[in-house]
Amino acid sequence: MREKHPLSGRATSIDLASERASFADDLGYYLTLQPRQLPSRYFYDALGSALFEAICQLPWYPVTRAEKGLLERYSSDIVGHLDPLSTVIELGSGSGEKLGLLIDAGRISQARLTVHLVDVSPTALAAAADALSRLDATTVIMHRAPYEEGLARIASRPRGGGRALVLFLGSNIGNFDPPGAAAFLRGIRSSLTAGDALLLGTDLVKSERELLLAYDDPLGVTAAFNRNLLVRINRELDGDFDLDGFAHRAIWNADQSRVEMHLVCRRTQHVTVRAAGFDFTMAEGESIWTESSYKYRPDDARAMLVRSGFEVVDQWIDGGFALTLASRSA
Ligand code: AVJ
């Protein structure tokens, strides 16, 4: 059975209206904090998702290539730890390519497999569903939802034996601050049963030069990805950000072990976000903090999992990236 367009994957106009309302609420809160901020989850509208896919192909952004290389080489080892594997849940499905790699390289029996894709982006879900449509013996279920909500829905479904593997790849964990990451991992753990596992992808600390090139690339794709947040606000919430008046800046915060992205105001401007019902003045040099990408040492990733109640099974490292497999023991 293949649920091509399950109910949980369909966006209704009510969803869209309430999403816009919470976008407006979030802006009213985060844009008036000092320093001003915008949550990075809002990067991923259709254009933002396409720009992110382009970033993954940049020679200066090694994350995706390194992780795919690890999956190609070690999927059979990963799957070997999880026999019999019956369910794979990918949080933040992206293009679905990595999941396909795991299934192929791990020689997972497609007929006995159920795949759940959880993503807030309808564009990402559509791309993933397309990439996985070749697995016609596998049941693919899409959940257009935030991760926690998707996990809760999946956990409440009956599962016919076999182990579950949750994939949280691409260093998406890097967008959480340390307490947030621990809480999130504990949430994943509580949705699993004994014997189930989590495969976590984490980008590793490397030289400042390499890190800054990855987040401030010479083609300006990451700058476009960052500024698109303002484009989105202007379009969806009737904002009037002067795009030209903002510069992309990436900095390496060594104390906090994170790359930060900011939008720095080049000249004082008054901004109105009409549909969110607020306005403010931004001074020259003031900035909006749009993203944190935490970087880890291999031991940090393991310790974070242990603190969240997991048992580390194995870890694979190459190209400045780590895949860590952890299980829920009881
Ligand atoms: C998708 C959150 C892992 O932090 O590296 C890429 C997003 N931001 N370039 C990351 C991103 C700028 C990416 N994550």
* Residue whose CA is at the smallest distance from ligand 1 atom 5: 293
Judged against a pLDDT cut of 90, whether residue 163 lies above it is answered with yes
pLDDT for 247: 98
- The residues near 239 (Cβ < 8 Å, ≥ 6 apart) are 230, 233, 271, 272, 273, 274, 275, 276
Q: What are phi and psi of 137, to 5 degrees?
A: -90, -10
pTM for the whole structure = 0.93
pLDDT for 59: 98
DSSP 8-state assignment for residue 296: B
> DSSP readout, 71-133?
HHHHHHHHHHTTSSEEEEEEES-TTSHHHHHHHHHTT--GGG-EEEEEES-HHHHHHHHHHHT
Residue 329 vs residue 190, higher pLDDT: 190
> For residue 192, which amino acid is it?
L
Q: HEC string of 58-73?
A: CCCCCHHHHHHHHHHH
* Residue whose CA is at the smallest distance from ligand 1 atom 14: 172
| 95-122 per-position pLDDT tens digit | 788 999 999 989 888 888 999 999 988 8
- Summarize the confidence of residues 308-317 as an average pLDDT: 98
- For residue 60, how far is its CA from the centre of ligand 1 (angstroms)? 13
Which residues have C-beta atoms less than 6 Å from ligand 1?
55, 63, 170-172, 174-175, 215, 222, 225, 291, 293
Which mutation among 221, 291, 321 tests ligand 1's pocket best, with the greatest number of atoms within 8 A of CB?
Answer: 291
Which mutation among 41, 43, 52 tests ligand 1's pocket best, with the greatest number of atoms within 8 A of CB?
Answer: 52
> For residue 206, which amino acid is it?
K
- For residue 261, how far is its CA from the centre of ligand 1 (angstroms)? 10
- For residue 156, how far is its CA from the centre of ligand 1 (angstroms)? 31
Percent of the chain with pLDDT over 70: 95
* Residue whose CA is at the smallest distance from ligand 1 atom 12: 215
- Ligand 1 nearest-atom number relative to CA 171: 3
- The residues near 127 (Cβ < 8 Å, ≥ 6 apart) are 94, 95, 96
pLDDT for 5: 42
- For residue 231, how far is its CA from the centre of ligand 1 (angstroms)? 18
- For residue 171, how far is its CA from the centre of ligand 1 (angstroms)? 8
| 67-89 per-position pLDDT tens digit | 999 999 999 999 999 999 999 99
- For residue 84, how far is its CA from the centre of ligand 1 (angstroms)? 33
- For residue 293, how far is its CA from the centre of ligand 1 (angstroms)? 7
**Whole-Å CA distances, 75 to 70, 72, 161, 289:** 8, 6, 22, 37
pLDDT for 61: 98
pLDDT for 7: 43
> For residue 324, which amino acid is it?
T
Task: Note the residue count of the chain.
Answer: 330
* Contact by Cβ (8 Å): 64, 144: no
pLDDT for 110: 82
pLDDT for 11: 58
Mean pLDDT estimate for the chain: 92
| Count of CB atoms situated within 10 Å of the CB of 286 | 16
* Contact by Cβ (8 Å): 81, 313: yes
Q: At what angle do helices 46-56 and 221-236 cross, to 10 degrees?
A: 170
Nearest to 164 by CA among 205, 225, 114: 114
Judged against a pLDDT cut of 70, whether residue 10 lies above it is answered with no
* Residue whose CA is at the smallest distance from ligand 1 atom 10: 293
* Contact by Cβ (8 Å): 120, 41: yes
* Residue whose CA is at the smallest distance from ligand 1 atom 4: 293
- For residue 71, how far is its CA from the centre of ligand 1 (angstroms)? 19
CA distance 280 to 46: 27
CA distance 52 to 94: 9
Angle at the Cα of 295 (from 23 to 219), degrees rounded to 5?
Answer: 70
| 192-233 per-position pLDDT tens digit | 999 999 999 999 999 999 999 999 999 999 999 999 999 999
- For residue 137, how far is its CA from the centre of ligand 1 (angstroms)? 33
**Hey, which residues does 140 pair with through a beta bridge?**
115
* Contact by Cβ (8 Å): 193, 161: no
pLDDT for 14: 64
- Summarize the confidence of residues 137-151 as an average pLDDT: 91
